[in-house]
Structure 1
Amino acid sequence: MIKKERVYALDFIRAIAVILILITHYNSNFIGFNGPAQPEKVIITAFPFNIYIGDLGVGLFLLISGASMYYVYANQKICLSKFIKKRLLNILPMFYISYVLAFMYNFWVNKGFSHDNMSLKWGISTIFGFDSMMQTAGFPSFMLVGEWFLGMIMIVYTVFPLLKLCFEKQTWVTIVVSIFTFVSIQSIQYEGNHFWVLIQLTIGLVPVVIFGMTLQKYTEVLKKFVSLIVSILVLFVISFGDFSVLPSKIRMAIISISFFVILTHLAKYFEKNIIKKGVKWLVKYAYPIFLVHHFIINQVVKHFDLMTIGRLDSYILFSICLSIIFPISVLVFRIERVLVDVK
């Protein structure tokens, strides 16, 4: 396989997505998810462009996954077994390391292990890295680290060779089918149906990855000034209009694609030395940050009375969380590198 140079714009967007996810799970403590809503204490905003900030982060991650994989593998043959093996080795070892560290911490703090009479059979989802996705869908799990997106991206890696084949053979047919599938699944709601939620989080979001592949394939079109203007107009209209009739994930896709295009245009203006180094660092440690950040944030904030702290205190507390998340992420990364080297 021909090794291609990194595209700064893609790294820049990935770094932005990492920041959004960090803010998302800290802000969840102040928007009614983990207690009373206190919107004045959120970091920056919880609802940019009239959608949940977590949806924007996930949307960008899905798009960047499709765009970056298509950039690397476009017009190249993929050996399915080697591709999946490589991807799983990039995901699971670091997940296991993070999980063990979190488990040991909990074991020490709680003076033992308790599974609240939950059947150990649910540990199977942890072994394969799907525990957070299962928990998000409403199933029991032993989730400690990572997010539901981890299970989603593993599914994407598994089907990517097939997606790529269809996309290259019948590009517009694949795009149309993807749009139809995405809109159909995300428009139908079955309250309390865990299996349907699971479908929405997996099959229902695979089309967004294809949208990312499309953005990469037609990247030269995106670089034109008219694409920037259209994207800004879309963000403006949705930000100040009432589009609540649209399902949240459909709004997520529209906003994320528009924001992706805008960031593609802006990236070159942020390719300064210190910013570029920061982007490179965030991209390098993005995965371990993704794995450990939610667990660490939960452990830190529970030591504070969130009802009494002020807005400035909230920003300081967020900084404290980052000061713990970043070094532990580096630690997890280095442990994984040592174990991989040993192998």
Structure 2
Amino acid sequence: MKREHLFPLDFVRVLAAVSIVVFHYNAVTFMEPIVNKPILLFFNYANGSMGHIGVSLFFILAGASLMYSSMEKLDLKTYFKKRFLAIYPLYWTVYAAFFVYNYLIKHNFAFDKPLSRLLLTAVGMDGYLNYLIPNYYLLGEWFIGCILLIYLMFPALRACMLRWPVLTLVGTALIYIPLTLFYPFQMDIQFFFLLRVPEVLFGMYFIKYLYGTRQQREKYDWKWGLASFIGVFTVMTVKTSLPVPFKILWTGIPLFLFLVWVGQFIKNTVVKKGISIFSSYTFAIYLVHHILVGKFVFPLIGRPVGRLENYLVFWKYFVFISIAGAVFYWLSRILTGIAALLWGSAVSWLNCRKDTTKR
């Protein structure tokens, strides 16, 4: 049975993507101190940055989306096939384009590392492991590798949650809290995949117990909106000395709850359709935005820039990466379709050869 489309999740996904794009635009400004211009919206809040907001929302969305699509049953073969197709064709297409441009055409980077390390790129772990094994990382940052590890964990997380919902929470806390307080690894603490599991689990529990059925959604009323708003307002304005993962979790959960509640008030069909379409391009936009931002910021170096001009430059940048993301999205789908046709033809030819040999 086809499930009802949850538009509020699309709404949250778009806002998460926008927050990451704005964050990196501002971050490039800070990296270039002679770019004298104001920031967009804000860069930091009392307990973190806008980047923390967007990434946390994406992890919660991952748990919610995966749980919603597998409420009754999870077929592992279908699950891993869908995850593969959702990540790799688009990732490889975008990477290939920027690799050819930066390494082969413009020679912006040198082949100064073993070519065997391109294998890390092929499996999507280059950005995640670049701090430890310098490689040919270009796009996607640490998030790609981290979410891939989360996808590998999801079937086990789902099975545990459905069978032992309380015990799963307790077990996760017993790992999460000590690991946060006594973090022993060189990797930045917010990048370590086990410390993002609580966000993913929250998204799963949210669907299972709060929002997965029509009856549950009808009860998701103003009380949830008010309570989550109080949580968001507090974390945004009251500075604490908590470890970073605790702050991020405190930010992501109430903000997700609040934005889902707000998303329910969007009723215009055209607006909803536009947001949902844009939502399908967010991963592609995420892949291209970081490597393209310099093309718009660097020309501003050496002169003061007013707030209005800065917003206009950002708007041009945002439109550009949105179009680029959509182009890469459809290009990857076309290439995937061609690959599937070629694979099907090859299999048919081999089967015909086998039948001919038997005769």
Aligned to 1:132: 127
Question: How far has the Cα of 1:327 moved from its partner?
Answer: 1.6
Distance 1:260-1:331 versus aligned 2 partners, 3 A rule? same
Question: How far has the Cα of 1:227 moved from its partner?
Answer: 2.7
**Higher-RCO chain (CA-CA 8 Å, sequence separation at least 6):** 2
Aligned to 1:36: 33
Aligned to 2:55: 58
Equivalent residue in structure 2 for 1:183, among 177, 183, 207: 177
What amino acid is aligned across from residue 216 of structure 1 in structure 2? I
What amino acid is aligned across from residue 51 of structure 1 in structure 2? G
Could you list the runs of 5+ residues in structure 1 that have no partner in the other structure?
Answer: none
Task: Confirm or deny: 8 A CA contact 1:134 1:198 kept in the other structure.
Answer: no
Is 1:242 the counterpart of 2:239 in the alignment? Answer: yes
Question: How far has the Cα of 1:39 moved from its partner?
Answer: 9.6
Aligned to 1:283: 279
Which whole-Å CA distance do the structure 2 matches of 1:181 and 1:235 have between them? 26
Aligned to 1:217: 208
Counterpart of 2:24 in 1: which secondary structure? helix
Question: How far has the Cα of 1:268 moved from its partner?
Answer: 1.9
Aligned to 1:206: 197
Equivalent residue in structure 1 for 2:322, among 321, 326, 329: 326
Equivalent residue in structure 2 for 1:258, among 254, 270, 273: 254
Is 1:272 the counterpart of 2:282 in the alignment? Answer: no
Question: How far has the Cα of 1:198 moved from its partner?
Answer: 7.4
Aligned to 1:26: 25
For residues 96-136 of structure 1, give each alpha carbon's deviation from its aligned partner in whole angstroms, at most 9, with x where no partner exists.
11011111221366347513x3233332211111111123x
Question: How far has the Cα of 1:36 moved from its partner?
Answer: 3.0
Distance 1:62-1:39 versus aligned 2 partners, 3 A rule? farther
Distance 1:43-1:82 versus aligned 2 partners, 3 A rule? same
Counterpart of 1:203 in 2: which secondary structure? helix
Distance 1:210-1:141 versus aligned 2 partners, 3 A rule? same
Could you list the runs of 5+ residues in structure 2 that have no partner in the other structure?
Answer: 211-215, 341-359
Counterpart of 2:265 in 1: which secondary structure? helix
The CA RMSD over aligned residues, in Å, is: 2.4
Q: Which has the larger radius of gyration?
A: 2
* More divergent stretch after superposition (212-221 vs 17-26): 212-221
Question: How far has the Cα of 1:182 moved from its partner?
Answer: 2.5
Task: Confirm or deny: 8 A CA contact 1:11 1:280 kept in the other structure.
Answer: yes
Task: Confirm or deny: 8 A CA contact 1:26 1:297 kept in the other structure.
Answer: yes
Task: Confirm or deny: 8 A CA contact 1:228 1:262 kept in the other structure.
Answer: yes
Matches within 5 A, 1:85-234: 85-107=81-103, 110-111=106-107, 114-115=110-111, 117-135=112-130, 137-190=131-184, 193-194=185-186, 196-197=187-188, 200-219=191-210, 220=216, 223-234=220-231
What amino acid is aligned across from residue 92 of structure 1 in structure 2? Y
Which whole-Å CA distance do the structure 2 matches of 1:114 and 1:42 have between them? 33
* More divergent stretch after superposition (61-70 vs 213-222): 213-222
For residues 156-209 of structure 1, give each alpha carbon's deviation from its aligned partner in whole angstroms, at most 9, with x where no partner exists.
21121111100000011112222332233233345xx43x44795212212210
* More divergent stretch after superposition (250-259 vs 45-54): 45-54
Which whole-Å CA distance do the structure 1 matches of 2:36 and 2:262 have between them? 29
For residues 199-222 of structure 1, give each alpha carbon's deviation from its aligned partner in whole angstroms, at most 9, with x where no partner exists.
952122122101111122222387
Counterpart of 1:263 in 2: which secondary structure? helix
